[in-house]
Structure 1
Amino acid sequence: MQLPQASAISIASNIFHPSPFKVSRYSGKDEVMPKEKYPLAVESVGGDTYIVMSRGHHDLREFMVEVIKDYGGWNLGGAQHVWIKTTPAKGGWSYNIVDQATRGAWPATYCWEYGDGYEQWREVTP
């Protein structure tokens, strides 16, 4: 088997034009990807631990106000922006916190039971 010559590789790379609507799988860069807007919709995703999140990076205060409205008795705190990768699991889905560069990762605003500052949020009335 003969390897392609260097000039053939450079010519081929000049022909490839990634779609302006997708991340280039060759460069890994997403500067041409349009920003998606995720609505603030808090959902429970924890199993043995109370964990809630919403797709997208939202203002942390607005997120926590919504969390308290829906899950006020859960002692939730520690809101932060994370990147999540959804993977199939027995009986549903698993949400894993990953690095932003991970293929298939999406932005989320996330908090959990007894996270940082949960005492202050317990006193907020929506």
Structure 2
Amino acid sequence: GNKSMVLRFLLRDPILSLKVTWHHAQLATCSPVRLMDLADVNKQVPLPPPPSFAPPAFVLGGADDKVVDVEAIQELAASYGVEPIILPNMAHDVMLDTRWEQVAERLAAWLDTLTEHQA
């Protein structure tokens, strides 16, 4: 296993290893209750149309998302009357992905279009 690697970590930085151990123990005390009730979310699909005064929408998702599938991303975009951006090889937390810059660039480009319309 990882016995020798773990031992090197513990000996290299004892304070950090104590912190990691403490935080890991804290995770065990977390509630196993989900933050959202997925059955309730499914009852609300399809979404009602947004109000006429809704702000512009930016809809982006990952093609490999296991939480929100591509069809749901497309449906959300359609309800707001916008084109979705589906990024290949990205999962659910796109801003935590190693290619987060691609997401940030797409968002920045969209924000630029908003300021162009206001000018």
Is TM (by shorter chain) over 0.5?
A: no
Judging by fraction of residues, say which structure has more strand. Answer: 1
TM-score by length of 2: 0.30
TM-score by length of 1: 0.28
Higher relative contact order (CA 8 A, sep 6+): 1
Judging by fraction of residues, say which structure has more helix. Answer: 2
